[in-house]
Amino acid sequence: MTVADRSPKELWVCHLGVVPYLDGLAIQDEIRARRQAGELPDTLLLLEHPPVYTRGRRSGADDLPFGEDFYRAKGIDVIPTDRGGRLTYHGPGQLVGYPIMRIADVHRHLRTIEHAIIDALAQEGVQARSRREEGIDYTGVWVRDRKIASIGVHVSRGITTHGFAVNVDNDLDPFAWVVACGLPDVAMTSLARESAGPSTPTRPPELCAGDRSLSCFRRRMAHAFCQAHGRRQRLVSPPRVGIDAANAARRATERAPIETISSASAEPTGALQGVPG
């Protein structure tokens, strides 16, 4: 019996702190392979990235109107990925979640992630919503017409990688320098910005005891994610899931480069559009 078979009702949650983006890709590759082999159960990685723009399979040159050199001069790297969606920004203060899970229905997977994020934000007193009925480019979570969280996933042999990003207390200016999420007029927001006025969190105080930091929201998000999937949360350390920072950095340098395709091209099998965060 595999570890996954022994833990069907558990969802492992691992906090990684700040992880360089390429190292994060290498970590996902390793955990996906172990999940496919049944060596790990479904696992949610929660982390932050240093400043980086990531390009999904549907990203085009127009998403970076000033050219890559302009952004790198500002200390923001530009990295292609194999997830669905368009271009987005990650940076400190933004909570990134990578669910590495076996799924049967990728659309249902996206909707469940949206539901979990909406629930976690509601616990902070922020009323958010899905706009999925408006089209694929509106996948994600919105506060009225402002985007607060985004989703972009990749599926390989039934196992997901990539996931979601929630703007908690990060700098929003880098979103304004690009065509974020393929939406030229998108307005981005964050939990900090939406919580600037009085609010009434709906979750009992024992989870965070009044703390509204990223670490508090990370706990709320993990709890909401596991609830949305009907699973019992189990917190595990990075070594428990086989994460070694030095090994991840080495594997990151060995990854084959990923090419993005124009938005007019077909999405490759196994990669699903999700508006990237």
User: Any idea which residues carry the catalytic annotation?
Assistant: 181
| Beta-bridge partners for 11 | 233
Q: Which of 251, 219, 193, 178 is nearest to 24 (CA)?
A: 251
Q: How far is CA 214 from the centre of its chain?
A: 14
Tell me 129's DSSP state: B
Q: Quick count: other Cβ atoms within 10 Å of Cβ 265?
A: 11
Please report the DSSP string for 177-225 in residue order.
Answer: TTTGGG-TT-EE--HHHHTSS-----S-GGGTTT--SHHHHHHHHHHHH
